[in-house]
Structure 1
Amino acid sequence: MEIKQLIHNGVLIPVYKPVGFKIKFRGEELALSPEQEEMAVAWVKKLSTDYVKDKVFVRNFFKDFGKALGVKGKVSPEDFDFSEIIAWLEKEKARKEGMSKEEKKALAQERKRIREENKKKYGFAIVNGMPMEISNYMVEPACIFMGRGEHPLRGRWKPGVKAEDITLNLSPDAKVPDPPNGGSWKSIVFDPTSLWIASWRDKLRGKMKYVWLSDTAYIKQVRDIEKFNKAWELEKLIDKVREHIKRGLESHDLLERKIATVCYLIDELKLRVGDEKDEDEADTVGATTLRPEHLKFNSDGTITFDFLGKDSVRWVSTINPPEVVYRNLKEFIAEGNETIFNGVRSQKVNAYLAEVMPGLTAKVFRTYHASTATKRALQNADVDRDDPVYIKKYYATMANLEAAKVCNHKRKLPKNWEESLRKKIERLKVLKEKKAKKEKIEELKLKINAMKATRDYNLNTSLKNYIDPRVYADWGRRIDFDWKLYYPKSLQRRFAWVDGEDRLQDLNV
């Protein structure tokens, strides 16, 4: 779908409203500029968290805070007295907690009114004559950068974005909107190939940031369909693709052997391709960026992979590869380069895959593996049309878990997980003692089983990005289960096309 018209009102830019706080630095009182105050308040709000125990986080923040204050040399938390800000925040917290129901209701209504006004003005774009929702029309406010995993920049101050930093994507027939806080936009362009509304460069990391059309926008739904259809095309051609990779593993050309070995690992281990990481990001690894220390060659011919993947999630897996893969990896490591696949980038990997299947990229493999793992689990689920909904939901969750395992979507255990499990177990005990209906007991048992099974995995990422929702929809028709009973509201809207006439072919689940 080509974009010929793109009209919108720009983006909302948050502005910090200073209170006029003062702090003490080494005993001397300092008046703060709005930016300095914003930094100080952000730090004080972190005092009750574990972040202040992180030496890297603390060092990075106070390096930036000292610079903002114009202080030469090293500063530490002990140099500062934030008592005035702490007292004010505590007073505000107490004031809000002490509000009457009527006051809280009035405050909530006012916030809702402002949200609705902002959404009406900034929340929609006209694309080729059709109104389409914008995903997040407010640009990022200034904040302490949190990062993921052991990110080296965690604790650094990320300055806010101004109109002068922002480029708007508008078609020639669109009226250029006025910036919300005055000033002028950096530039106005028209990129008919992309779905972004506004862009700017992150002042901390130098990365480009974008405001996009919502996932519910028709044009994005079309691209979702194309993505999943490509995965099913791969399913039909997987043997041909693997034969192509197998031939490459034996090639006399060193570069082709390296590329084919990368492709083998992407398919076998379901790895990301690996070279999209920015230099300032945490040490995350994919297929093309594997280093010798990430592999252990075992005496039984197996290889153990141990490295940090995306979001610094540890990836440990042992495979028993064909002899040629074992031999290739040994050879590549013997070259003595920092990375095993020196000279191989994602562009070369994708070009090699496209030789056998046009449009095939490394990313398609993860969608294929996640969707087929889910489909296989649902096909094997011991469930019938007459079974209650809770049993069908349980098997839907277990199938989702298979995709999360395939993609290694590990998570940190939520703080209240143990307590939540304990309460469910206690509730089960009470139900048994009261001799409650068997169905209630069985339903809670399955919830406990699912909670334990999914303990270490984030199921939402695969459900949102990697599993074709038609897998659940087709399975649901067979067993009389509406797929929307499993998907959250936001994803029901994103995948509304599943129930449309253009849902394309059944997937034979």
Structure 2
Amino acid sequence: MSSASDFSDDDKPLGKPSGGLNGHHHPNGNGNGHVSAQHASSSLSEDEDMPLATADSSAVPPTRTLKRKKPIYAESSSDSEDDTPLASSPAKLATSAAIPMPGAVEATTVPASSTNGKRKAKIKEEPRDDDYADDDAPKRKRASAASGSKKPAKKKVKQETPAASGSDDDIPIVTKKPSVSRKRKVKVESDADSDSDDDKPIAKKAAPKKAAPKKAAPKKPRASKVKDEAESGDELPKAKKTSAKKKKEDAEVNGSPVKKGRKKKEEEEEEVFRWWDADANGDGSVKWETLEHNGVIFPPPYEPLPPHVKMKYNGKPLELPPAAEEVAGFYAALIESDHAQSTKFNENFFDDWKKVLKTDPPRDGTKVTSFESCDFRPMFEYFEAEKARKKAMTTAEKKEVKRLKDEQEAKYLTCLLDGRKEKIGNFRVEPPGLFRGRGEHPKKGSLKFRVRPEDITINIGKEAPVPVPNMPGKWKEVIHDNTVTWLATWTENVNGNHKYVFLAAGSSLKGQSDMTKFEKARELKKHIDRIRQNYNADLKSKVMADRQRATAMYFIDKLALRAGNEKGEDEAETVGCCSLKCQHVTLEAPNFVIFDFLGKDSIRYYNRVPVELQIFKNIRIFKENKNDDDDLFDRVNTAGLNKHLQSEMKGLTAKVFRTFNASSTFQRLLDENSLENATLQEKLNAYNKANREVAILCNHRKTVPKTHDQSMERVNNKLRAVKYDRMKLRHVLFKIDKKFKKDEDYKDDESDIDDDWIVAHEEALKAKEIEKAEKKFKQENEKLEEEGEKPQKPSVLEERIADIEEEYTRLEKERGTEQAELKRERPVEKIQEAITKLSEKISASKLQIIDRDEGKEIALNTSKINYLDPRITASWCKIHEVPVEKLFSKTLRVKFPWALEVDEDWKF
């Protein structure tokens, strides 16, 4: 069962640095120690975002001092602190104090009449990915999906292996019992105080009606067919044969779907349960009638290091028993990562390791008391050598390793749910390791124990056989609870959080969960005007608790702040709206509020926004006679706020506001773009720009990758290479007829390609051609030997290399002449077509570079997975004839199959 932590940002390899104590280097290495728990890793937080990296402080204004200074205001500050209204209001400003941000009132206020239904469309056949960990979602009630469509029989479509889901929102739904009418009414329900909706008990449901399965014909995206003549073998020496990769890149740029082979045909033939077309299935209590699965797969036991690999203590090799050696290895694998540079990480690791050493002390009696005397580098170097060895394995060896692994895991991939085969999302138990956490977590570095069968509770049908663990031991408990959707659970030892094994992202229960979440956000459109009127009225309430609640609701609605929960002493110091301290909010006359705090995942939130004058006055009152570390909203908490929201709309929580504002803002931004006659890349840039604005609204930021500059340089070099190709073709035309130099389409030169770059580029091309020739020669000889024939003589290779040398000698002579020739003559019209295509490719590449650079600090996938209704994207793609594959990865297409069927006139 791969766990959520296996995919978090803080578990990704880090680059290499320079040396220090304990074999440490500055962060850049590739710490590869796996993280686990005897009772598993922590659950994801309330908003179910994808993990984000710690924010780069350079991305926002400098940190403000925590010491609060009392500002000077134009009006008196003698208003009562407690339960009396403000004496008077100052004169209103001439200009509006609307907040300049995506998701403002204009964007999110939608009359109920504008809410349209959705018509059924043909489903599009999509491939599916491998399983992904999604094991941290907490329990939640099941609600029904909203749909205005008729009740067809169950249908099945071809689909591949299920995909990974970055979403942790597991809100299952069930439709009502079938009514006499052919139309199906939908009841949408949700918890008030819960942010994830998967596993709270619900009422019992009847077995579904069965109908003859049907297969929906796949619907191919509309795109232009492009024949890339500019890359053909005649023009340039580097393009003797267009590689498959090159063809794929060209097809992507020009919007043509890439043709795929018939690999994994067996997987493609697999049919998936079309739950969104199924009959109503009961009253919403029971989530399954029968459930059968094989449990979880445990990682292999620890294998001791070779005798010659030992860490050192005070410069001498340390003889460690396996248990102590394993924990030391966890740290050794990370010594060149950012984690090992953290004092708190090192302290927690050393404290836990000393506890292990008490029960499994060094064999030579050495007492380990000083962390600074430990040298883990010998272990680190061994791990690095092992990684290099595995990387150097032949393709056949890698395939054999994968085959064996697939055989071991095959029976854990699926379960039988009500007689249907469904994919399981996270069936691997993570191995033990060191807890890394997110941001400045106080427990990072703590030891996560190995999970054993005795720690795990299995949930399975009463009649199903009890699975046998793949390691010695017995399950902690076997239960038969059909009101929840998890298959296995345990408690991790570091934070005491519960871990769950759920179905995969593409399963029926997960899909119902997602649909319910977005339908709940759409339902908010009908109530948002009334809710805003109510909290605006309470902004002047004589009851201080109501006034604070209304002010908090204003920030949650307008700024898309998370509600925030109270943190324990052993949790990271992050806050949300209800848990803001006075030091986090600063007032600036006449009506600006400055927020500066660490949000989820320790991502810094800094925002200076104009607010309504009443909000400004309220914040001033809330802060009076308080210290910097006192609560700003001392009479409001998340539970009370959500309870109030339930009275405004059934199932409404603070999180629904984020989903609603994100989706409605996204819909508005997309609709504002006029994309008539736009190229594919221009359409993609417009989509990503809207996505970025929503991500900024939701504070979905990430640290700029350390390799960003190098990556951008590679992209720019690829662009220059295309310009070089166009330049050579222009020079071919000039040699044919000098009049082409005056042609507007060909007279502009490639100004950013200088002579030095051309020399380096052609030398690199020649080296690649020679390497390719040598590799091909070797493969041909290997094949001949397999067939029992004599291999080719070395002279054959020498002749091929000589031809390459001759070709590049010709290119060298052409430099600076503005004339060139092809190896084989081609009609002028064909050359002109090739130049036009290369010019279009250059324009698309420039747009891609801009798009990539602008998004370097923004985590686009978080909002795309969790907060943007996928039907917005599906409808937009149909309107603008953009292949959905350009915007939704295979993972997302498997996660949201129900969304891909909407008509192009669907609106959030």
TM-score by length of structure 1 reads: 0.91
1:39 corresponding residue in structure 2: 327
Pairing of 1:459-470 with structure 2 (within 5 A): 459-470=860-871
2:356 corresponding residue in structure 1: 68
Consecutive unaligned residues of structure 2, counting only runs of 5 or more, are 1-173, 175-285, 728-834
Give deviations 1:100-142, integer Å, cap 9, x for gaps.
Answer: xxxx223322332234234421121222222211111012211
Task: Name which of structure 1's ranges 173-182 and 297-306 shifts more when overlaid on structure 2.
Answer: 173-182
1:140 corresponding residue in structure 2: 430
- Alpha-carbon distance change, 432 to 91 in structure 1, aligned in 2, over 3 angstroms: closer
Q: Is 2:503 the counterpart of 1:219? A: no
Assess if the C-alpha contact under 8 Å between 2:564 and 2:577 holds in 1. Answer: yes
2:483 to 174, 193, 202: 193
> Secondary structure at 2:487's aligned position in 1?
strand
- Alpha-carbon distance change, 378 to 505 in structure 1, aligned in 2, over 3 angstroms: closer
- Alpha-carbon distance change, 161 to 261 in structure 1, aligned in 2, over 3 angstroms: same
- Alpha-carbon distance change, 375 to 67 in structure 1, aligned in 2, over 3 angstroms: same
Shift of 1:303: 1.0
- Alpha-carbon distance change, 374 to 74 in structure 1, aligned in 2, over 3 angstroms: farther
Task: Name which of structure 1's ranges 253-262 and 136-145 shifts more when overlaid on structure 2.
Answer: 253-262
Give deviations 1:11-58, integer Å, cap 9, x for gaps.
Answer: 111133222555443466544333312212222211232332222222
Q: Is 2:383 the counterpart of 1:89? A: yes
2:872 corresponding residue in structure 1: 471
Identity %: 36
1:353 to 641, 645, 650: 645
2:471 corresponding residue in structure 1: 181
- Alpha-carbon distance change, 286 to 190 in structure 1, aligned in 2, over 3 angstroms: farther
CA distance in 2: counterparts of 1:117 and 1:489, whole angstroms: 24
Shift of 1:403: 1.7
Assess if the C-alpha contact under 8 Å between 1:244 and 1:356 holds in 2. Answer: no
- Alpha-carbon distance change, 90 to 273 in structure 1, aligned in 2, over 3 angstroms: closer
Structure having the higher strand fraction is 1
Pairing of 1:434-449 with structure 2 (within 5 A): 434-435=726-727, 437-449=838-850
1:207 to 497, 500, 512: 497
Shift of 1:286: 0.4
- Alpha-carbon distance change, 96 to 222 in structure 1, aligned in 2, over 3 angstroms: closer
- Alpha-carbon distance change, 277 to 444 in structure 1, aligned in 2, over 3 angstroms: farther
CA distance in 2: counterparts of 1:210 and 1:454, whole angstroms: 33
Assess if the C-alpha contact under 8 Å between 1:202 and 1:208 holds in 2. Answer: yes
Q: Is 2:425 the counterpart of 1:425? A: no
Consecutive unaligned residues of structure 1, counting only runs of 5 or more, are none
CA distance in 1: counterparts of 2:376 and 2:504, whole angstroms: 41
Shift of 1:329: 2.2
CA distance in 2: counterparts of 1:127 and 1:244, whole angstroms: 45
Shift of 1:426: 3.4
1:241 to 520, 524, 531: 531
- Alpha-carbon distance change, 507 to 351 in structure 1, aligned in 2, over 3 angstroms: farther
1:259 to 549, 567, 571: 549
Assess if the C-alpha contact under 8 Å between 1:274 and 1:289 holds in 2. Answer: yes
Assess if the C-alpha contact under 8 Å between 2:459 and 2:479 holds in 1. Answer: yes
Q: Is 2:683 the counterpart of 1:392? A: yes
2:411 corresponding residue in structure 1: 121
Give deviations 1:460-499, integer Å, cap 9, x for gaps.
Answer: 1111111111111111221222323211110010011123
1:157 corresponding residue in structure 2: 447
CA distance in 1: counterparts of 2:684 and 2:540, whole angstroms: 46
Assess if the C-alpha contact under 8 Å between 1:63 and 1:74 holds in 2. Answer: no
Shift of 1:430: 4.4
CA distance in 2: counterparts of 1:121 and 1:431, whole angstroms: 48
CA distance in 2: counterparts of 1:164 and 1:504, whole angstroms: 50
Pairing of 1:6-85 with structure 2 (within 5 A): 6-20=291-305, 22-26=310-314, 30-70=318-358, 75-82=369-376, 85=379
Pairing of 1:235-314 with structure 2 (within 5 A): 235-275=525-565, 277=567, 279-314=569-604
> Secondary structure at 2:527's aligned position in 1?
helix
Assess if the C-alpha contact under 8 Å between 1:59 and 1:76 holds in 2. Answer: no
Assess if the C-alpha contact under 8 Å between 1:16 and 1:38 holds in 2. Answer: no
Task: Name which of structure 1's ranges 476-485 and 157-166 shifts more when overlaid on structure 2.
Answer: 476-485
Q: Is 2:396 the counterpart of 1:106? A: yes
Assess if the C-alpha contact under 8 Å between 1:370 and 1:402 holds in 2. Answer: no
CA distance in 1: counterparts of 2:390 and 2:297, whole angstroms: 26
CA distance in 1: counterparts of 2:851 and 2:392, whole angstroms: 40
Q: Counterpart of 1:49 in structure 2: which amino acid? A: S
Shift of 1:97: 5.2
Give deviations 1:219-251, integer Å, cap 9, x for gaps.
Answer: 110111111111111123221121121122222
Which protein, 1 or 2, shows the higher relative CO under an 8 Å CA cutoff with sep ≥ 6?
Answer: 2
Q: CA RMSD in A?
A: 2.5
Assess if the C-alpha contact under 8 Å between 2:426 and 2:502 holds in 1. Answer: yes
Q: Counterpart of 2:668 in structure 1: which amino acid? A: R
Shift of 1:252: 2.6
Task: Name which of structure 1's ranges 280-289 and 321-330 shifts more when overlaid on structure 2.
Answer: 321-330
> Secondary structure at 1:428's aligned position in 2?
helix
Shift of 1:381: 2.0
1:375 corresponding residue in structure 2: 667
- Alpha-carbon distance change, 462 to 76 in structure 1, aligned in 2, over 3 angstroms: farther
CA distance in 1: counterparts of 2:501 and 2:546, whole angstroms: 39
Shift of 1:341: 1.8
Assess if the C-alpha contact under 8 Å between 2:574 and 2:601 holds in 1. Answer: yes
- How many residue pairs match? The answer is 502
Shift of 1:74: 8.1
TM-score by length of structure 2 reads: 0.53
Task: Name which of structure 1's ranges 395-404 and 247-256 shifts more when overlaid on structure 2.
Answer: 247-256
> Secondary structure at 2:648's aligned position in 1?
coil
Assess if the C-alpha contact under 8 Å between 1:169 and 1:188 holds in 2. Answer: yes
> Secondary structure at 1:287's aligned position in 2?
coil
CA distance in 1: counterparts of 2:385 and 2:711, whole angstroms: 32
> Secondary structure at 1:289's aligned position in 2?
coil
Shift of 1:505: 9.9
CA distance in 2: counterparts of 1:387 and 1:325, whole angstroms: 43
Pairing of 1:405-416 with structure 2 (within 5 A): 405-416=696-707
1:130 corresponding residue in structure 2: 420
CA distance in 2: counterparts of 1:504 and 1:236, whole angstroms: 22
> Secondary structure at 1:260's aligned position in 2?
helix
Q: Counterpart of 1:152 in structure 2: which amino acid? A: P
Q: Counterpart of 2:486 in structure 1: which amino acid? A: W
CA distance in 2: counterparts of 1:52 and 1:421, whole angstroms: 29
- Alpha-carbon distance change, 493 to 74 in structure 1, aligned in 2, over 3 angstroms: same
Q: Counterpart of 2:708 in structure 1: which amino acid? A: W
Shift of 1:343: 4.1
2:614 corresponding residue in structure 1: 324
Q: Counterpart of 1:445 in structure 2: which amino acid? A: K
Task: Name which of structure 1's ranges 468-477 and 375-384 shifts more when overlaid on structure 2.
Answer: 375-384
Assess if the C-alpha contact under 8 Å between 1:167 and 1:185 holds in 2. Answer: yes
